[in-house]
Amino acid sequence: MDPRFEKYARLLVNVGINAQPGQTLVLSAPVSAADFARLCVSEAYKLGVREVVMRWHDDFVTREKYLHAADEVFDIVRPWQAEEMNTLARENAAFLSVGSSDPNAMRGVDHSRMVRWSRASGKAMAEFDGLQMSDKIQWCLACVPNPAWAKKVFPDLAEDEAVDRLWDAIYATMRITADGDPVEEWRRHNAELNERKKKLTAYNFKSLRYTNSLGTDLTVELPQGHYWDGGNSVSAHGVAFNANMPTEEIFTAPKRDGVNGRVVSTKPFRAGGEIIDRFAFTFENGKIVKVETEDPKHKKILEDEISVDEGACYLGEAALVPYDSPISKMGILFYSTLYDENASCHLAFGASYPTVKGGADMTEDQRKAAGLNQSITHEDFMVGSEDLSIVGTTHDGREVPVFIDGNFAF
């Protein structure tokens, strides 16, 4: 067996989710990744985890449900389904999700069914999502390859070769080599990200202005008392974890009603079973007032995505990733947000992480008053480019270059 396979499972359990002895670990994984999931289970018990609660899922079964299930099931979440997750979160379980999606798995399904399901589950899972978004519980998301995904990323290679190449690429993003110690690598990486977020927080910018040659000219105001987050987070029980593996970003929340101008996407966006290559959003006082897409049939999909609820058409995240970040330099389009978002500056429409002082303990109304956005959705889209410029303006009117030609200016 490739020594990196085991190192990957160990890294996720020890650093990503950082499961603690005596803690319950909830592991979700697709049946196609059963061998990797089993390895994670073994690593977790080795650490002294109390119990691993396994949640299997499968793209094929999900797709069949969207295609053929009775219509009303997309509006109903049985109370015990939500209560299971809410109870586990209240018990301070840790939630590790291993993803492995075929980017085209949901092609051709009725998008309105997907929207209704995300609305119903968003409502039912509000407590769980709140604990997760405010990092009160440990959570971690990572991926493993599958043949359909690998062929999408490397269409010219034979299936086996494509899968091997995707594994190599994923190990590289995870800083895993055959002879190195990824745990040490991640300690150093997290320290670097922490340094950068401190620097940005200290500037206390009033706004950021994004411009590039694709037609982006967007001003994003930031809330009073905002801070920049990234790298590892610390749970309510004081345990450090990495919510995304890999991660290269530093992020904060835009001021809900303080976004104006137009932004053009720079990497494909997956929605409604489709891959949307290029689109633009125009904002007025925070709200998306215009959607442009290259392909006219994609316009409706995006419009549906941003009208899932009232907050879906406002921004919830502004994340900075240098154009020369290691993942970006690999030059691979992964068709997976987890990787592509770490190769590019991105924004997200939908809910904010509570990145203002005291935000994690605020009520819904207090968060709103602080300028944070609320929604059941949160979707990243990429806006970074080789020539992206970002200029920060401080509260005393000073202009500070933050990004020059796609990379950090400091």
State residue 5 phi and psi, 5-degree precision: -60, -50
Listed ranges 80-88, 140-148, 170-178, 317-325: which one lies at the site for Zn ion (CB under 5 A) = 317-325
**What is the x/- site pattern for Zn ion, positions 331-370, by CB under 5 A?**
-----------------x----------------------
**Residue of closest CB approach to Zn ion:** 319
**What is the x/- site pattern for Zn ion, positions 267-306, by CB under 5 A?**
----------------------------------------
Least distance (Å) between residue 259 CB and Zn ion: 16
Beta pairing, strands 399-404 & 233-234: unpaired
- Would you say 174 or 348 has its CB closer to Zn ion? 348
Least distance (Å) between residue 379 CB and Zn ion: 8
Measured between alpha carbons, how far is 193 from 58 in angstroms, rounded to an integer? Answer: 34
User: Quick one: tokens of 143?
Assistant: 């991926």
Measured between alpha carbons, how far is 324 from 331 in angstroms, rounded to an integer? Answer: 10
**What is the x/- site pattern for Zn ion, positions 219-258, by CB under 5 A?**
------------------------------x-x-------
Q: Calculate the alpha carbon distances from 38 to 45, 52, 171, 382 in Å.
A: 11, 10, 19, 33
Least distance (Å) between residue 337 CB and Zn ion: 8
- Would you say 33 or 348 has its CB closer to Zn ion? 348
Tell me the three state secondary structure of residue 341. helix
Alpha helices in 147-256 (DSSP H): 147-153, 159-173, 182-203
What do you get for the CA distance between the two ends of the chain, in Å?
42
State residue 329 phi and psi, 5-degree precision: -65, -20
Scan residues 105-164 and list those touching Zn ion (CB under 5 A).
Answer: none
**What is the x/- site pattern for Zn ion, positions 62-91, by CB under 5 A?**
------------------------------
Least distance (Å) between residue 125 CB and Zn ion: 17
Residue pair 126/292 in contact (Cβ under 8 Å)? The answer is no
Least distance (Å) between residue 235 CB and Zn ion: 19
Task: Please count the other Cβ atoms lying within 10 Å of the Cβ belonging to residue 107.
Answer: 12
Listed ranges 100-108, 110-118, 214-222, 377-385: which one lies at the site for Zn ion (CB under 5 A) = 377-385
**Residue selected from 102, 221, 305, 380 as contacting Zn ion according to rule CB under 5 A:** 380
Please, is 296 exposed, middle or buried when counting C-beta atoms within 10 Å of its C-beta (0-12, 13-18, 19+)?
exposed
Count of residues in contact with Zn ion, rule CB under 5 A: 6
Q: Could you list the residues that contact Zn ion (CB under 5 A)?
A: 249, 251, 317, 319, 348, 380
